[in-house]
Amino acid sequence: KLDLKNIQGDILSGLPKKTEFYYFFNITDGPEFRKDLCDLVPLITTVDQVLKDRKRIDDHKKQKLPGLVPLTGVNISFSHLGFVKLKINDDTLSANPASRTDAFTVGQKKDAVTTLGDPARPDGQPDWDDSFLKNEIHGLFIISGESIESIEKKKREVNKIFGVGSEKASIKEIKTIKGDVRPGDLHAHEHFGFLDGISNPVIKGFDKDVNPGPPVVDPGVIVTGHTGDEAKDRRQDWAKDGSFLAFRWLDQLVPEFDKYLVDNALKEDGNGQTLTPEQGAELLGARMVGRWKSGAPIDLVPFKDDPQLAKDPKRNNNFHYADEINSQLRCPFAAHVRKTNPRNDLEGRPNGVSIPVAPNRIMRRGIQFGKEVTKEEKESATTKLPRGLLFACYQTNLEKGFQFIQQSKVSFGHADSRTSKAHDNHIRLDPIVGQGNRVMSGLDPLDPKKELSMPAFVVPRGGEYFFTPSLKGLKNTIAV
Ligand code: N7H
């Protein structure tokens, strides 16, 4: 049974937020930090607390009360370098403790160019913001809330605990990135315009009112020390009830993406119906993602959006690519959601090998950042202001979770030995988060072998791997 008072809130339930700080820090004084941490622990928002907060939000909505429920959340995570600085032995966090060449230990900077496919600078370093290149990031506070005033106040409280601004400071702020959900009706949509946050793993024994969709997963896929966590039996006590966090700061080139859709708009749908330029652009975008902007999956409604279906939680995730294992008619093999979660392409196939998808599933969190596209940007089809996604996902195995998905599914388009032959020929690179100039097939439903080339629409600006410990781990081992 999961101890919901021991698990940090973002992992299983997602901190409720309109706005959020990702506050990266360096530990300047290890022993002092461990003392200060004792005072932070009561501020940490657990899963139990988030469930109560969500109930408050629901009640507020039901009663049609004005304004937003004031609330804030705080979570804390550490990089491997952070544990080294604190002199905490984190061997049992490693996927291979003997060699310690795992992703968490080496850190994302080393992983970025060779494994994740990020563009490199001439010196071989990833072409990131300097703040992520100096090996200084020891930890991350995620501070969430309903307004900027609330999260700024909470940040001041956190800073006070660690003496920031005084001679006794035990941390130094490296960088704070502010995320904001988009305004009005776009609030759950990412910057390209698609509804996000629909499909996340449903956890056995935790989630209630399970909607039809992919099979439920064991808690240990996301929370360490439980069934489904391969390293469950060898984790030290303090390393249980935690999760690994892969963070990515991703710019999105929205005007360029929109122009690409217009320039390459499909002329006909899969039934041979002629499309207007607007419809053709919309269908092309939907085929790149695997869902319409409304969120409706194209596996269910391939050629016409269905906003009602998109809104219905009983139907909007209940698709399996079941009738089209070797076909791209309804959904291209390389569509973002098909690549990142192949569902019945791999498992539960009536006459084929069944390869479990569960070990590769991730709990996606994160938030948008940046302003809406301006008129000038739209007209010039050129990004002038930074905007995108602060991508964050939780899992118990970074190699099988984030790294696997980004590497073999998204960046390089390796012929994936797990998929059927038909896929290998045409799978190619993910059109949304794939890097470099690349080609993709399957976009034209009537000519699925036709390949379309495309530039990168998402630009990585930084990232790191963290571990988000349990409350007991923080209290009894990390703090002193
Ligand atoms: Fe993706 N997008 O707007 O196009 N993603 N993603 N993602 N993504 C998903 O089903 C997007 C990124 C996954 O279970 C949706 O909830 C953008 C990375 C996974 O069917 C949309 C960026 C990685 C899923 C987007 C981005 C993933 C998923 C549909 C970057 C992992 C669930 C909404 C700026 C390495 C698949 C939904 C499933 C869904 C978009 C990044 C993974 C709309 C813009 C880096 C596992």
Ligand 1: which residues within 6 Å by Cβ?
A: 190, 192, 194, 196-199, 248, 250, 252, 289, 291, 336-337, 340-341, 362, 364, 388-389, 391, 402, 405-406, 410, 432-433, 458
Query: Is residue 196 flagged as an active site residue?
Result: yes
Residue 425 pLDDT > 60, yes or no?
A: no
Length of the chain: 480
- Using one digit for the tens of pLDDT, what is the confidence trace for 126-142? 999 999 999 999 999 99
Ligand 1 centroid–CA 234 distance in Å is: 32
* Complex-level ipTM: 0.99
| pLDDT reported for residue 414 | 34
Average per-residue pLDDT in the chain?
Answer: 92
Q: Given the CA of residue 406, which atom of ligand 1 is nearest to it?
A: 35
Asked whether 317 and 221 are in contact (CB, 8 A), the reply is no
Assess contact for 1 and 115: CB atoms under 8 A.
Answer: no
Rounded to an integer, the average pLDDT of 22-48 is 98
Neighbours of 53 (CB within 10 A): 20
Nearest protein Cα to ligand 1, atom 41: 433
Atom of ligand 1 nearest to the CA of 340: 46
Among 340, 346, 409, name the best residue to mutate to test ligand 1's pocket (greatest count of ligand atoms within 8 A of Cβ). 340
State yes or no: pLDDT of 191 exceeds 60. yes
Mean pLDDT to the nearest integer, 239-246? 98
Q: How far apart are alpha carbons 475 and 477 in whole angstroms?
A: 6
Ligand 1 centroid, distance to 197 Cα (angstroms):
8
Q: Which amino acid is at 367?
A: I
Measure 338 CA to ligand 1 centroid, in angstroms: 10
Q: Where are the alpha helices (DSSP H) in 241-321?
A: 254-263, 277-289, 307-311
Q: Which of 196, 253, 389 to mutate to test the pocket of ligand 1 (most atoms within 8 A of CB)?
A: 196
Residue 420: predicted pLDDT: 40
Residue nearest to atom 10 of ligand 1 (CA): 199
Q: Tell me the per-residue pLDDT of 282-334, one tens digit each, with 9 for 90 and over.
A: 999 999 999 999 999 999 999 999 999 999 999 999 999 876 666 789 998 88
- Give the model's confidence band at 419: pLDDT under 50 very low, under 70 low, under 90 confident, else very high: very low
60-66 long-range Cβ contacts below 8 angstroms, 24+ apart: none
Residue-wise DSSP of 19-62: EEEEEEEEES-HHHHHHHHHHHGGGPPBHHHHHHHHHHHHHHHH
Cα angle, residue 357 at apex, residues 441 and 197 outer, rounded to 5°: 75
From the list 196, 229, 430, 444, the catalytic residue is: 196
Please report the atom of ligand 1 found closest to the CA of residue 198. Answer: 16
Taking the CA of residue 288 as reference, the ligand 1 atom at the shortest distance is 4
Claim: this prediction has a pTM higher than 0.90: yes
Q: Which of 244, 433, 458 to mutate to test the pocket of ligand 1 (most atoms within 8 A of CB)?
A: 433
pLDDT tens digit sequence for 341-372: 988 877 766 666 677 889 999 999 999 999 99
Nearest ligand 1 atom to the CA of 432 is 4
pLDDT in tens, 92-133: 999 788 889 999 999 999 999 988 889 999 999 999 999 999
Using most ligand atoms within 8 A of CB, pick from 108, 199, 316, 459 the residue to mutate for ligand 1: 199
The CA distances from residue 45 to 178, 244, 276, 390, in Å, are 19, 17, 49, 20
- As a whole number, mean pLDDT of residues 254-274 equals 97
User: Residue 416 — pLDDT band, cuts 50, 70, 90?
Assistant: very low
Residue 152 burial (10 A CB sphere; 0-12, 13-18, 19+): middle
| 424 has a pLDDT exceeding 50 | no
Closest CA to ligand 1's atom 23: 406
Distance 37 CA to ligand 1 centre (A): 34
Ligand 1: nearest atom to the Cα of 291: 29
What is the CA(337)–ligand 1 centre distance, in A? 6
Summarised one tens digit per residue, pLDDT across range 63-93 is: 999 999 999 999 999 999 999 999 999 999 9
Instruction: Measure 50 CA to ligand 1 centroid, in angstroms.
Output: 24
User: Which residue's CA is the nearest one to ligand 1's atom 35?
Assistant: 406
**How many angstroms is it from 275 CA to the middle of ligand 1?**
27
Distance 16 CA to ligand 1 centre (A): 19
pLDDT value of residue 426:
45
Contact 229, 223 (CB under 8 A): yes
Q: What integer is the mean pLDDT of 179-190?
A: 95
Atom of ligand 1 nearest to the CA of 410: 35
Closest residue to atom 11 of ligand 1, CA basis: 432
Ligand 1 mutation pick, 254, 337, 347, 365, max ligand atoms within 8 A of CB = 337
- For residue 382, give the nearest of 250, 249, 260 by alpha carbon: 260
How many angstroms does the Cα of residue 190 sit away from the middle of ligand 1?
A: 10
* Residue 74, token pair as written in the block: 């705080």
